Amino acid sequence: MTGSPRVPQGHVFKVGNGNRDGDAEGNGKSAAAYLFLTNGSRVYEVDDAVYHRLSQSMDAGDEAAVSEQIDALNLSAPAYIKSQAPEAFPVRALSLAVAQKCNLGCTYCYAQGGDFGEPSRNMSEDKAFAAVDQLISGTPEGERANLSFLGGEPLVNRKLIGHVTRYAKEKAQEKNITIGFSITTNGTLINEKDGEFFEENGFAVTISLDGLGEVHDRQRPFKNGKGSFDRIIARVKPLLAMQRNMQVSARITVTPANLNLKESLDGLLAMGFHSVGFSPMLSAPNGREEMQHEDLQQMLRSMQECGMAFIDHQIRGERYAFHNMVSALQEIHKGTHRPYPCGAGAGYFGVGADGDLYACHRFVEDDNSLMGNVETGVDAQAQKEWLAERHVDKQSPCNGCWARYLCGGSCHYEVIHRERESCDFIRGWLDFCLRSYVILLDKVPDYFSQDPVQLQGDIQGLDQAQIKEPSHENPQEKPQTSIAVEIKMV
Amino acid sequence: MPLEPKNITARLAQRKVRGNPPSTQPESAISNCFPGLEFDFRNIWKLIFVGVELHEAGLTGGHIVMDVTPGSPAELAGVPLFSRLLEVAGRPLAATRTLAAGPTQQLQPLSLSDALAHILTRGGEMVECVFAGQGPQIRVQLEVREVFKDGTLSEDLAEPGALTQGLCSPWQADYRECGCYYWAASRPDFVNAEVNNGNTEGHSWMQKNRSDTDAYEQDRGGRAGGVHITYSDLYNDWENQLTFIKNGKDSE
């Protein structure tokens, strides 16, 4: 759809009855033309003449001509994203690998069966409390922080989750900090008492499900090979009925074996999940189930199918919580622009069972991204180097891509472990979402009813761009809210 | 079809003044800006010279040095804190007053917008500045900052938010303090006016009793109680003391 990056300054597209080129007979006359400017993620409707000139220059890769035309439209602006990386960033979100062990044997697991290739173990209470202390001491009074419980399977260490939640609430209250909690679980151990606890503490609960029935079972069996779907659904159902203060969402890891996304989305929404999101499997420690270029193209088509259903539902005024779409539309509406794909190594860290801090939960036990520990805090030098190195303007081919400030340069873990395999997929998805955005803005303007002035604080560059306010979403999403991440998180 | 901004960043960029609310734009201001409700234009001049921070107003006549950057030419020349800037590029920052009777020798500080207009286009150049020191006057060459950068106010001169620092507090002392009848647009100072036998009768905007039978009472300042609304009345009870004025008349 939008294969090559073409030019780094922006992207043009048409929506409506007509194609990009239109024709002299007036076909395509009803199509509206749009310009997306990378600098500031600004979206403009433009006239046909402007569209055609820009489109030609972009196709020819003529960056100088594109700049001239942007100038002529009086749309040039100082750089919204500073090329100078920040040197430090306060910790605002932590995830605790409370149990580096798991009862499932998922084919592609980044934690290699839950233990990250190390002896399996639980996090101790001392380490978990020290992590909370770090989080609270780094968060200014009156602001927000987020604590996630991950694993392995975190509910293996249920007792610790209870103790840490209570401790964190107390500590947060002392400093008037609003603390959000979240957990990502395989759902096989969850029970109604857990549900009551999550409900009481407003948890964002994410259940990892890879589809319906056998589709799920093929990828996420128990270690003994038995399917896990039926047991998970039996255990999760009471929580779905219970959710008021908590939100129970489903997260689907997409591999070449479960590409029928629409079926999974509709099936899980019908069960009562608060929202359903997809992430492609791009990098597994064992290389299994990784998506190849063709698979990603198929996934993109599948995502678009879900996206169109989303638009239809909105037009009819019906809820349809396709998470990737909801989040992408909000970001495009706000004009989110960021130099990093997520908060990893900036305001967000993954804490291993031994209390070491890693750039995120996926890097746990990876010594190359060790960034301190819960006793001494973040290693300032390591963080400074990470922020300098990971800035999207320093990445190639990102610095030549129009989507770089929406995408942020793609998941650090995947880029480091497998290069950038998904750029066409991400651009294709963003192009689709941009088109959907202008359609929705036209057909269902109330969908974007937030006041621009109130949102202004969110878009003034780096500080807010990197870390969004924690809300009732998946734990990973709190520090990691870019569109690219939304569709790539595992 | 004109260019139409769709999303929020595009819409905000259209306002041209990134970081400041729309009310800070001159075209949306309803009245003056000195200090004003929408923005305080004096803050433009605070950082016009590299190495010193100025404050326009002050009991000693204003144009006061609030800060000197360590190692700057101003510091090396010995410009003291709280000294006054007297002259820039050969022109004084004060002028003699002229009263109805004719010119006087009395010096009146000029607003910096008037006094520094001649260096507005000299961004990047060095100009001679004269400061009143504790001893003899201090002369030093200081660099003038660019006022505009990329078509908008330079952030070196005024960071986002700088123009809205130090605004009027309309519901407090400033409501009756303002010397330039700032509120004229929304708050006429002569209300309930009626023409009667060739005379105009009405009430002062600060007068407490304003029924048909109450005569006009000249405002005598806000401290004494009784006839006029006081500062204290405004601090404690502005909601009840002030009424809406519609078509020049009090409304309930």
Chain A closest-CA separation from residue B10 CA (Å): 5
CA–CA separation, A258 vs A280, rounded Å?
A: 10
Who among B1, B11, B150 is closest to A452 (CB)? B11
A40 CB within 8 Å of a chain B CB: yes
Q: Taking CB atoms and an 8 Å limit, are B10 and A335 in contact across chains?
A: yes
* Residue A205 near residue A473 (C-beta atoms within 8 A): no
pLDDT at A475 exceeding the cut of 50 = no
Among the ranges given (A9-23, A125-139, A210-224, B117-131), the one the predictor scored with the smallest mean pLDDT: A9-23
> How much is the average pLDDT of A358-372?
90
Among the ranges given (A36-45, A158-167, A414-423, B174-183), the one the predictor scored with the smallest mean pLDDT: B174-183
Task: Give Cα separations from A47 to A52, A282, A446 (angstroms).
Answer: 9, 39, 25
Who among B8, B149, B160 is closest to A335 (CB)? B8
pLDDT at A474 exceeding the cut of 80 = no
CA–CA separation, B34 vs B32, rounded Å?
A: 6
Higher-pLDDT residue of A366, B141: B141
SS3 A351: strand
> How much is the average pLDDT of A266-279?
96
Given this model, what pLDDT does residue A193 score? 97
* H or E segment to which residue A145 belongs: strand A144-151
A10 CB within 8 Å of a chain B CB: no
Given this model, what pLDDT does residue A488 score? 30
DSSP assignment of A41-87 equals: TEEEEE-HHHHHHHHHHHHTT-HHHHHHHHHHTT---S-SS-SSPPS
* Residue A153 near residue A104 (C-beta atoms within 8 A): yes
> How much is the average pLDDT of A257-284?
95
Who among A77, A80, A333 is closest to B8 (CB)? A333
The chain A residue lying nearest B8, using CA atoms, is A334
Q: Which of B1, B3, B9 to mutate to test the interface with A (most CBs of A within 10 A)?
A: B9
Who among B3, B12, B21 is closest to A44 (CB)? B3
pTM above 0.80, yes or no: no
Given this model, what pLDDT does residue B178 score? 64
pLDDT in tens, A402-448: 999 999 998 898 888 887 888 999 999 999 999 999 999 999 988 88
Counted across chains A and B, CB pairs separated by less than 8 A come out at 74
Q: What is the pLDDT along chain B (252 residues), one digit of tens a residue?
A: 578 999 999 988 876 545 556 555 555 555 556 666 677 888 889 999 999 999 988 767 789 999 999 999 999 999 999 999 999 999 999 999 888 889 898 888 888 988 999 998 999 999 999 999 778 999 999 999 999 887 678 889 988 888 888 777 766 677 777 655 555 455 677 889 999 888 999 998 888 888 988 999 887 766 666 788 888 888 888 888 888 888 888 886
The chain A residue lying nearest B151, using CA atoms, is A77
Task: Give Cα separations from B221 to B179, B183, B231 (angstroms).
Answer: 12, 17, 9
- Those residues with Cβ within 8 angstroms of residue B223's Cβ, 6 or more apart along the chain or in another chain: B230, B231
Strand bridging mode B94-99 / B91-92? unpaired
Given this model, what pLDDT does residue A464 score? 28
The chain B residue lying nearest A437, using CA atoms, is B7
Given this model, what pLDDT does residue B220 score? 75
* H or E segment to which residue A52 belongs: helix A48-59
Which of residues 362 through 391 in chain A touch B, CB cutoff 8 A? none
The chain B residue lying nearest A439, using CA atoms, is B6
The chain A residue lying nearest B14, using CA atoms, is A75
Given this model, what pLDDT does residue A166 score? 97
The chain B residue lying nearest A329, using CA atoms, is B7
Given this model, what pLDDT does residue A345 score? 93
Given this model, what pLDDT does residue B162 score? 87
A46 CB within 8 Å of a chain B CB: yes
Of A392, A303, A353, the closest CA to residue A149 belongs to A353
Higher-pLDDT residue of A468, A189: A189
Given this model, what pLDDT does residue B25 score? 58
pLDDT in tens, A86-104: 888 889 999 999 998 999 9
A34 CB within 8 Å of a chain B CB: yes
* Residue A471 near residue A458 (C-beta atoms within 8 A): no
Task: Give Cα separations from A108 to A102, A290, A465, B216, B232 (angstroms).
Answer: 14, 8, 31, 87, 72
Q: Taking CB atoms and an 8 Å limit, are B3 and A333 in contact across chains?
A: no
Higher-pLDDT residue of B1, A76: A76
Given this model, what pLDDT does residue A394 score? 92
The two most distant CA atoms of chain A are separated, in Å, by 74
pLDDT in tens, A46-61: 999 999 999 999 999 9
Q: A78 contacts in B (CB within 8 Å)?
A: 18, 149-150, 152
Residue A150, beta-bridge partner list: A97
Within 13 Å of residue B218, how many CA atoms lie on the same side as its CB? 1
Given this model, what pLDDT does residue A287 score? 80
Given this model, what pLDDT does residue A490 score? 23
Q: Which residues of chain B have a Cβ shorter than 8 Å from any chain A Cβ?
A: 1-13, 18-19, 21-22, 149-150, 152, 160
* Residue B166 near residue B55 (C-beta atoms within 8 A): no
Query: What interface predicted TM-score (ipTM) does this complex get?
Result: 0.82
